[in-house]
Structures are given as structure tokens and as C-alpha cells.
Structure 1
Amino acid sequence: MTDARDRLIVGLDVASLEEADAMVARLGEAVTFYKIGFELAVAGGLTLAERLARSGKKVFVDLKLHDIGQTVEKATRQVARLGATFLTVHAYPQTMRAAAEGRGDSGLQILAVTVLTSWDADDVRAAGFSDSPAELVERRVGHARDAGVDGVICAPTDLASVRRIAPRPFLAVTPGVRPAGAALGDQKRVATPGDAIRAGADRLVVARPILSADDPRAAAEAIVAEIDEASRGLT
């Protein structure tokens, strides 16, 4: 079973490398896995990804790629060279197949984004889909499974259907995780860390509840403890 500490991915959702380095230093050994998204990536975060990987940390490069197949394949190959563990692409069949090809025999795992956790039914309709969020997730999970990627990014509320369509070792990585009593921010489909683990999440992505805490390390350790307790209850 994966160690509880490795099941928490802290999103470095900050604006500069200096802020990211300072947060990594504050969190120390409490955190083993970091996510670098768009904001930090365009501020030089891909060099940080490589540096973190070389230091022994795991890195999730959250770029949500979606382009013509050749471009996605070549970009994926570049991310694999950084030593990253995860890369996200949007869950369109051609995009996913291209990313799976681009990772080659590296250790990079491809995760497909199903429906953003900030979207609800109105957002899905506004994007031109007739499906409900749950229906669209189910369709995209099936596409991801068939395209040969390693897993999906999904809301905690979608985990039951993900596990029904694509059992482990297919991965379910879950943002939209908030400790009990935490502000939801722009997230609409959420769960506590323990509930997400019990529902079938492999790893949880948490940013603001840790980054904005008075003591980020203590906040991370509290989530790891909740993950560990929930995991033990499943054995």
C-alpha cells in the first residue's frame, strides 16, 4: 500500500519560484509530492519540477495538454525528461493516445482530466454538452481506460463511478479536497480527505488549505494523518 505521505500532493499554486521554494522549505519532510500548475509553470516552474525530482521528491506537472496529436506527443516527451511522476492532459481520445505514445518507456504516468471540479451542471451545459457532469465523467473515464493512459483526475463525488468503470491499478487522483470546515473557494464538487480516500481516491491534491494555513507543515501533517486513518479502515 502506498505510504500515506505519498498520497498527498501539495499544489504549489503560487506566482513565483521564490514563493514555491520558500513553501517547499517550510513543508520539509512533511510533504513528498508536489503539483506544478500553469501559473508556476509559466514563471519557470518546469525547472523547479526537474530540481524537485532530482532531490527525491515526486512531481505532478499539471499542464492539462490538449492540442494536435504530434504536439501533445512531443510535449509529453519533454515532460518525461524532467523526471516527473504525473502529467495531465484533457480526456479527448486523440490527445490521450498521443500522450501515452509520448511517455514511451519512461516512468511518467498520464492522467486525463475528466470534468473540472469547479464545474457544475450549468457549466457543463454552457460548454455545449448535453450530459450531466456525472454522465460526462463516466464517458471520459471509459475513453481514458481505452486510450491506455494511467488514470484520471476527477472530483471526489465521481469516485464511485470511476472505480466501477476502471478498477485499480487505474489511478484516480482527486482535487476538490477540503478539510472539514475549510472554505470551498471556487470548488463545487468536494469532499474531506478521509471521505475521498474511503471513496477510492489514490492520491489527493490539496493547495489552499495548506498554503494559506498559519502553519502549512502542521496542516499537511493533519491531512496525512487523516489519509492514514482512512486507509487503515479499508484494510
Structure 2
Amino acid sequence: MLEHFDQLDPRERIIVALDCDRARALDLADTLSGEARWLKIGMTLFYALGPSIVNELKTAGFKIFLDLKFHDIPHQVHGAARSATQAGADMLTMHAVGGTKMMEEALAGAQEAASDFGCEAPVMLAITVLTSMDQKGLESTNVMLPVADQVRSLAKMAQNAGASGVVASPQEARMLRALLGPDAFIVTPGVRPAGAAVGDQSRMATPHDAIANGASHLVIGRPITQADDPLDAFRAVVSEVADASVDF
């Protein structure tokens, strides 16, 4: 099970989140160059700089997870996915709660751009329940299902819509791996090395445990980017990932 993910270089399974300004992003990219493979550009960086920052970091040799969490009417999401693919994104996100039609249009927009511009279609991920939300937070949105049940429902909807996989907390990774099968991308934020600050995350696990539970990729920001030595912190996570294997 998960043989194709387990055979990846452990560095390929870690996505470093750059939630900072351009100068700091480029400094971190320079520091991690040659070791990190993936960088995440979220709303903070993209809304400040637009597609140019995707191009800069792609030119520096990184794969780009453009985490903009599309959630709009299907027509708008189609266009957004097309534009993001044209910009060079290797991985994109959309909110599964936008519904099946919206997710299908996101995939269509990405495929259209790949065909029109001669680029690779990105990995398309559906956001299930944000890792900052706990049961009380979910219920405040009038969703009364247990968190795990809501994650399960949205993940299955995303799979049926054709998504490559999902974004969910590492606490749901085991359930999702059994539900979605060995080929699905299960990308987990809320990953904190032992002893790292919790920050605004509610549903967390260590890198070792996230991989052992079936995650394909880990998104880690502040424990690496705010470390005294980001490269040393990255290497420590690589070591944890290399030592982990699926335990079910």
C-alpha cells in the first residue's frame, strides 16, 4: 500500500509554507535550495505579488503548491484554475463545500490551460475541514456532523468529482487512506514536530505520525520558516519522514 508515495525521496513529501513577504520568501528559497522540493504560496504572498512570485520560485527550481482555496460559482472557479495553471502552479486547492459542479469546473479549467499552454495539469486537491477548526468551530457553522464524518463526506464527494486528493488534518489521514485508496493525494497541514509551538492549529500530529497514518505529503510552515536555522529544521523533518512507514 502507498508504494508509489513511499518510494519518493522524503524531501518530495514535505511542502514548506511561505506565509511571509517577498524578501523573506526569496531568502528562505535560497536557504532551502537544493534540499526542499516543494514550496507553498498561500493567500498572503499571492495577493501581494500575484503570479510573478510563482514564476520566481519556479525559476529557482521549486514545485509550487498554490493554496488559494477556490470557492465561488463554477464559472469563476473554472477561470481561476485555468489562470493558476497558466501561472505555473503544480498543485491547487478548492473547497469541497463548493460542491461537485464547482470542483468539476476547477478540474476542467486546469486541464484546459494545460492543453492550451503546453504545461502539466496540476494536482487538484479539495479542502475538507480546515485544520484550525475543532468540533465546536464546525458546529458554529451549523454543521452538526462529527468532524471526521464531515471530512469523510466531503472527501468522497471530491473523489467522485475527479479530484486528485484532499487536504485534511493528519488525524483523519488513516480514515481517508482507507476511503480513497492508495493513489489519492492526502496532504496534511497541522503537522508539528515534537516540541514545536501549536500556533493556530487544532487537529495536529507529528511528521512521523502523519506519514504513518497514510499522508502522502506534509505542509509545514512556521516550525521550519521561523526556526533559527530553517535548513536544519527542514532536515530534521526529512529524517522523521524517512523513518516513518504506514503502520496499517
Q: TM-score, normalised by structure 1?
A: 0.95
Task: Give the whole-Å Cα distance in 2 for the aligned partners of 1:175 and 1:2.
Answer: 19
Give 1:176-195 correspondences, 5 Å limit. 176-195=190-209
- Partners of 1:88 and 1:112 within 8 A in 2: yes
Give 1:9-158 correspondences, 5 Å limit. 9-14=15-20, 16-91=21-96, 92-104=99-111, 105=114, 106-158=120-172
Letter in 2 for 1:193: P
Matching residue of 2:229: 215
Matching residue of 1:4: 10
Task: Give the whole-Å Cα distance in 2 for the aligned partners of 1:21 and 1:45.
Answer: 15
State the secondary structure of the residue aligned to 1:160: helix
State the secondary structure of the residue aligned to 2:201: coil
State the secondary structure of the residue aligned to 2:77: helix
Task: Give the whole-Å Cα distance in 2 for the aligned partners of 1:203 and 1:146.
Answer: 21
Letter in 1 for 2:75: Q
- Partners of 1:54 and 1:83 within 8 A in 2: no
- Partners of 1:60 and 1:86 within 8 A in 2: yes
- Partners of 1:114 and 1:137 within 8 A in 2: yes
CA deviation digits over 1:74-103, x for unaligned, max 9? 110111112221000000322211111111
The worse-fitting range, judged by mean Cα deviation, of 36-45 and 201-210 is 36-45
- Partners of 2:103 and 2:158 within 8 A in 1: yes
CA deviation digits over 1:34-65, x for unaligned, max 9? 00001011111531112222333110000000
- Partners of 1:53 and 1:82 within 8 A in 2: no
How many residues align structurally? 233
Percent of counterpart pairs with the same letter?
40
State the secondary structure of the residue aligned to 1:30: coil
Task: Give the whole-Å Cα distance in 1 for the aligned partners of 2:121 and 2:57.
Answer: 15
Task: Give the whole-Å Cα distance in 2 for the aligned partners of 1:154 and 1:50.
Answer: 27
Letter in 1 for 2:188: T
2:179 maps to which of 147, 165, 182: 165
Structure 2: which 5+ residue stretches go unaligned?
A: 1-6, 115-119
Runs of 4+ in 1 over 6 A off after TM superposition: none
Q: TM-score, normalised by structure 2?
A: 0.90
Structure 1: which 5+ residue stretches go unaligned?
A: none
The worse-fitting range, judged by mean Cα deviation, of 48-57 and 59-68 is 48-57
- Partners of 2:29 and 2:57 within 8 A in 1: no
Task: Give the whole-Å Cα distance in 2 for the aligned partners of 1:89 and 1:121.
Answer: 22
Give 1:189-208 correspondences, 5 Å limit. 189-208=203-222
Alpha-carbon distance, 1:28 to partner: 2.2
Shift in alpha-carbon separation, 1:198–1:50, aligned structure 2, 3 A: same
